[in-house]
């Protein structure tokens, strides 16, 4: 039996690899967007190690210098290299976005799976809780929670996690309601499989296609939301090189020193666009399966 199970697992892995290869082979745009997303992730990992200057070292002799060969993106009001600060800020924004989406998926998947599988009071409680969060304006609720916890990047991430899970709970619940009526689930129940095994090994793997598509798109929105909280002073605090905080400080100089806020804004825009477009492509590819 174990040998047969291993063969089935190997076959499933090969089919998954074939699906991934086929997904990228259908459109050259998907290859470009996938490469761009990988580039963003690489920058988040290696950016601080390749930055030419310290993100925190103050040099008043070089304040507000325009872009040059020495300072590619110019300098800020403290003489700090903007390019280096953007590279050091990439892990804060992108890793924070991954943490937000990963935690939201974990919470939403767990609650949505239980609600969809068991139904009844569990379904009612989870869905009404999700409706309660969804009834408030997204960013306003995040700002309220972050303000209550206190301004910091970690508190901003916690606030966004709290409000990010309901759509995943609703999405997983809908998928579970459709999958649990299929024959292979009935067969597993007839063979005496436990509810936990049925949920984790039979139902959940069949529900993750739309979730992966939404996760990729949400990574871009999470970067934007984190930057928004930093911009209004509820996220990362000075002298942190988080992108939203840099823009917040640079907006006072936008008329005469355009580079100060423009380049971190471009970093946010290109990151959000890359994840969002790639997520749309994943959703389109899944919808045609």
Torsion angles phi and psi, residue 81, rounded to 5: -70, 120
pLDDT at 139 over 80: yes
Per-residue pLDDT tens for 142-180?
999 999 999 999 999 999 999 999 999 999 999 898 888
pLDDT (0 to 100) of residue 8:
45
For residue 188, give the nearest of 200, 177, 178, 176 by alpha carbon: 200
Is residue 214 within 8 A of residue 276, CB to CB? The reply is no
For 196-227, how does the pLDDT look when each residue is reduced to its tens digit (9 = 90+)?
A: 888 888 888 888 778 888 888 899 999 999 99
Separation between Cα atoms, residue 271 and residue 281, nearest integer Å: 16
The reported pTM is 0.85
User: In a 10 Å sphere around its CB, with 0-12 CB exposed, 13-18 middle and 19+ buried, how is residue 69 labelled?
Assistant: exposed
Between CA 95 and CA 219 the distance in angstroms is 10
Task: Name residue, tokens 């600060």.
Answer: 85
Question: What DSSP line would sit under 245-289, residue for residue?
Answer: HHHHHHGGGTTT-THHHHHHHHHHHHHHHHHHHHHHHHHHHHHT-
Least confident of 15-29, 41-55, 233-247: 15-29
DSSP lists the bridge partners of residue 75 as 81
pLDDT of residue 285: 59
pLDDT level of residue 181 (50, 70, 90 thresholds): confident
The mean per-residue pLDDT over the stretch 41-59 comes to 92
Using pLDDT thresholds of 50, 70 and 90, give the confidence band for residue 14.
Answer: very low
- Look at the block and give the residue holding tokens 């749309």: 280
Residues making up the chain, counted from first to last: 289
Distance, CA of 126 to CA of 166 (rounded, Å): 9
DSSP characters for 151-194?
SSHHHHHHHHHHHHSHHHHHHHHHHHHHHTTSHHHHHHHHTT--
- pLDDT value of position 286: 58
Give the per-residue pLDDT at 17.
40
Write out the residue range of the structural domain in which residue 83 sits. 2-287
Q: Is the pLDDT of residue 6 over 70?
A: no
pLDDT value of position 228: 94
Mean pLDDT of the chain, nearest integer: 85
Residue pair 276/221 in contact by the 8 Å Cβ criterion: yes
CB proximity list for 65: less than 8 A, separation 6 or greater: 71, 74, 75, 79
CATH code for position 210 = 1.10.3720.10
Q: What is the pLDDT of residue 266?
A: 95
Each residue of 57-115: pLDDT tens digit?
Answer: 999 899 999 999 999 999 999 999 999 999 999 999 999 999 999 999 999 999 999 99
Per the structure, the count of domains in the chain is 1
Confidence of residue 13 (pLDDT cuts 50, 70, 90): very low
Find residue 81's DSSP bridge partners.
Answer: 75
Average pLDDT, stretch 127-154? 92
Sign of CA dihedral 278, 282, 287, 289: positive
User: Is residue 12 over pLDDT 80?
Assistant: no
Quote the tokens at residue 26.
């259908």
Per residue in 17-37, pLDDT (tens digit) is: 444 445 555 567 778 888 899
Whole-angstrom distance, CA of residue 249 vs CA of residue 241: 11
């Amino acid at each position: 039996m174990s040998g047969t199970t291993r063969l089935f697992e190997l076959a499933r892995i090969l089919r998954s690899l074939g699906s991934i290869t086929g997904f990228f082979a259908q459109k050259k745009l998907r290859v470009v967007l996938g490469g761009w997303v990988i580039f963003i992730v690489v920058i988040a990992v290696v950016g601080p190690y390749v930055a030419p200057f310290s993100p925190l070292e103050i040099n008043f002799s070089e304040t507000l210098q325009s872009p040059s060969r020495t300072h590619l993106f110019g300098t800020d009001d403290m003489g700090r290299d903007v390019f280096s600060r953007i590279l050091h800020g990439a892990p804060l924004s992108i890793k924070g976005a991954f943490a937000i989406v990963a935690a939201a998926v974990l919470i939403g998947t767990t609650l949505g799976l239980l609600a969809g599988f068991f139904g009844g009071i569990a379904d009612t409680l989870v869905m009404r809780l999700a409706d309660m969060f969804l009834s408030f304006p997204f960013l306003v609720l995040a700002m309220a929670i972050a303000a209550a916890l206190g301004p910091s990047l970690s508190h901003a991430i916690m606030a966004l996690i709290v409000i990010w899970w309901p759509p995943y709970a609703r999405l997983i619940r809908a998928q579970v309601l459709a999958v649990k009526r299929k024959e292979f689930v009935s067969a597993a129940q007839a063979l005496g499989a436990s509810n936990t095994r049925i949920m984790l090994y039979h139902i959940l793997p069949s529900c993750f296609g739309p979730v992966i598509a939404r996760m990729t798109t949400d990574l871009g929105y999470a970067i934007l939301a984190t930057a928004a909280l930093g911009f209004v002073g509820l996220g990362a605090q000075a002298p942190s090189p988080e992108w939203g905080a840099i823009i917040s400080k640079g907006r006072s100089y936008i008329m005469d020193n355009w580079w100060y806020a423009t380049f971190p804004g471009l970093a946010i825009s290109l990151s959000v666009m890359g994840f969002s477009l790639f997520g749309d492509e994943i959703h389109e590819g899944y919808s045609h399966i």
